Structure 1
């Protein structure tokens, strides 16, 4: 039993814990699909709002589409093909078809506008693009306005029946573990997005490790609601290909409907991140909350103060997993690790990774001291596409420098902030994440983002952007109530002086708040900002 009374349900692991460190027996994504289609052609693989498809059907569909890409679109080894689609079955169909053709998939966020799309197409060099009627006008506009992009070819996401004339065997293309599979664009929180070069080994190994850590098998049902252009539904696909389980893909995340979908689809596993746990918890409690088949929820950045309550409410273990697009998975808390509940710890390194906490000179710091979290091992990106200097900055002597500040403790690792996400007020360093966690404990708050704003006296002052729960008044009284609630938990110099209410946050593909975009939006369209402290003198220590 956990501290909340939630049982860690015994499960049949498809991959034993002691096998997580060994190389997966099938070493390419297309190989995984081929083996599952041969073993279980009639077993369900993908379930979308528009229907359900088996491993055999998906294998046939993607082989025919890959043949079309080779014969009609001239796609060969290493050619980049963009995908700009919402969460429809044609997204993974396009992805798997591109990989079978030996190409490199370039996921494009389906909410991108003209400048975003121009950048990704130009940077990646994609000359073929999967899209649909809803996005074709934007692609046409981009092609017409940019001579160097005029020859980008649109491929409509064809149905299986429209490909009957193409062979059902996948193209005769050599695909190896180190074959490039994706140019996966990162968030671009510190400039233009960078494309992580991800191989077949990256996706296969990530699915293998996550399946083993979560204890999943063919009897599980995996559910995702993030956009497929994010990496999470893609590693969920690899996971399901690894264990032979179905993947349920929702059109989008809806806090009010998510748990109903979990019940309806009898999902046993899901991964959530960002503001999703808080948004779910702030939904009105229901007698049906525990009426679900969930056996485990993996999450990045579980709200510490809500962790035990999340488990208690839905009757299932929640466990942390830490990683980046660059590195896949680095740390994980296993289902059996009940002592991690509510601790804020990220668990232990996955068996294929080494993790260290270092000072700015790269020296390992003592346990209990903060430093940058760095990681080495596999899975790992090859580097950033066409950005050798950026690659050299983060990949040094085989170690990826994450930019996250962490503390090594006897039972695991705990994040305390981001190197570049600090407020420096009057000589004090304030981790934005610490202030955000405290503010978000207020029942009226959905999410927050804390930044530093220029101040003549202190250099920077603390400002909190706050998204309120529906129906809560955006007033000075509300701002004062939220900030007053933090005074018993934070040092006085960490208390936000300014509060600006926002309807939502611009987010990165990894569901982190994009603070540069947030501050740019606030500068261009400023909301009402409440100054909750009178000016103070530098000498009083406040």
Structure 2
């Protein structure tokens, strides 16, 4: 595949490609294409070449869109990195993905530099370049580079284009290899389910290191649609955006949609035809509110490993079948299997296994790939069932992953951070039900004998975790006990832990 933006600029150069809702700035396809060309040339001047791993640690802003499409034009593999990750978390991802250059901005530069130092371990440090004026002497300004001429890269269908990270039950980050075939198949399958408006305008406020935020930006030139960016979620601002920019589609997590409904009356923007709702299960109460107010909500079940959507329910299916995530997308095979890998009949629960052209060929780590991928497809770790009519429900996890506000949190990762504190003898981390976030991270802690008071330790642990973990991973409920409840086999009795913390 040749560069999609080059193609789009030759077809619809004067159409609006991008709107920055925070600054009310607009770019035509031709203007954005020219800006992408300059960024690609500057990255090339910094030594970025086809096949290099380009780390992108940027919030949801137009500069990130330019960098994403510049990397595609150059042939560099994108490694999106969460802008709220702590330096140790960033360093782990830089090392695992073999990142060769990292792009940051003023808000992420200090953490990017700290992560590069931690990851280098005495070796030559990964170069850091900022889309803003650098705040340290360790980063160079991207705009200061003289652009080189760039020939758009011709990507083979099975080449890895994107390496986003997802967390598993061990808490160690897993780099997912997404190919051009995966991304294109997902773009086609999504349109088959959601439909398409020739004046499509997609609002994006999700982080761009998540596939839910990345995919509209990637698909922009493929669909010929407009993308409206808002850097951070604010319910009043997003609700106003939907009206102001005649938004036709948006991707949200349930917490965000609930907040938008809280600050508005009646239906949302008359132009809005699709609210793709994922990242966490939608409650029946939220779906009832959407039905009462004619909000066109499409509950979806997806994974990073499947380039976004796996199954998606239409508004009618969601209204008449509470809790369903709908039917598998075009080309996607979704089955329910038992522990031996045998397919379960309708109505019986088991692990969901997905296969098809949207599914990644595997992780960066061969061992993890072997654990999760088999002849039948990807074992998702999600427990669910289907009915006789082919609709699917997701009812839990085979592991203990916490999903809070659409973000995945591995209890083992949080527990490891807590155990690093000198006053902690033992701990167990679980998810507790939360009306706003779906789940919240909670920790039961066994203090050492000479530890400070409970209130002082709780405050110290909060500071300790915030230095090591993204904010959404920090426990919001902390309890103390003399010992951690365990089963006869020695594993944590999570039911008992939740009872202690509830």
Common topology (TM > 0.5) = yes
Distance 1:523-1:79 versus aligned 2 partners, 3 A rule: farther
Give the match for residue 178 of structure 2: 198
Give the secondary structure class of the aligned counterpart of 1:67.
helix
Contact 2:43/2:142 (<8 A) preserved? no
Contact 1:62/1:94 (<8 A) preserved? yes
Aligned counterpart for 1:245 among listed residues 190, 207, 225:
225
Contact 2:17/2:27 (<8 A) preserved? yes
Distance 1:353-1:512 versus aligned 2 partners, 3 A rule: farther
Give the match for residue 418 of structure 1: 397
The 2-side partners of 1:418 and 1:144 are apart by 36
Give, in angstroms, the shift of residue 111 of structure 1: 0.9
The 1-side partners of 2:9 and 2:169 are apart by 40
1:464 to 2:442 alignment = no
- The size of the alignment, in residue pairs, is 423
Contact 1:66/1:171 (<8 A) preserved? no
Give, in angstroms, the shift of residue 163 of structure 1: 8.0
Give the match for residue 297 of structure 1: 275
TM-score by length of 2: 0.75
Give the match for residue 378 of structure 1: 357
Deviations 1:415-462 (A, max 9, x none): 11111249xxxxxxxxx99xx9xxx9xxxxx99x9x9xxxxxxxx9x9
1:360 to 2:339 alignment = yes
Give the match for residue 383 of structure 2: 405
Contact 2:116/2:126 (<8 A) preserved? yes
1:93 to 2:66 alignment = yes
Give, in angstroms, the shift of residue 305 of structure 1: 2.9
Give, in angstroms, the shift of residue 341 of structure 1: 4.3
1:74 to 2:47 alignment = yes
Q: How does 1:119-130 map to 2 (within 5 A)?
A: 119-130=92-103
1:61 to 2:42 alignment = no
Show structure 1 runs of 5+ residues with no match.
Answer: 1-27, 423-431, 441-445, 452-459, 470-502, 526-535, 537-542
Give the match for residue 125 of structure 2: 151
Aligned counterpart for 2:367 among listed residues 389, 393, 396:
389
Q: How does 1:295-374 map to 2 (within 5 A)?
A: 295-300=273-278, 301-313=281-293, 315-328=294-307, 329-334=309-314, 337-338=316-317, 340-374=319-353
Contact 1:127/1:152 (<8 A) preserved? yes
Q: CA RMSD in A?
A: 3.7
The 2-side partners of 1:109 and 1:251 are apart by 13
Aligned counterpart for 1:40 among listed residues 12, 26, 31:
12
Show structure 2 runs of 5+ residues with no match.
Answer: 134-140, 412-427, 438-461, 482-495, 497-502
Give, in angstroms, the shift of residue 147 of structure 1: 3.4
Distance 1:201-1:333 versus aligned 2 partners, 3 A rule: same
Moved more, 140-149 or 123-132: 140-149
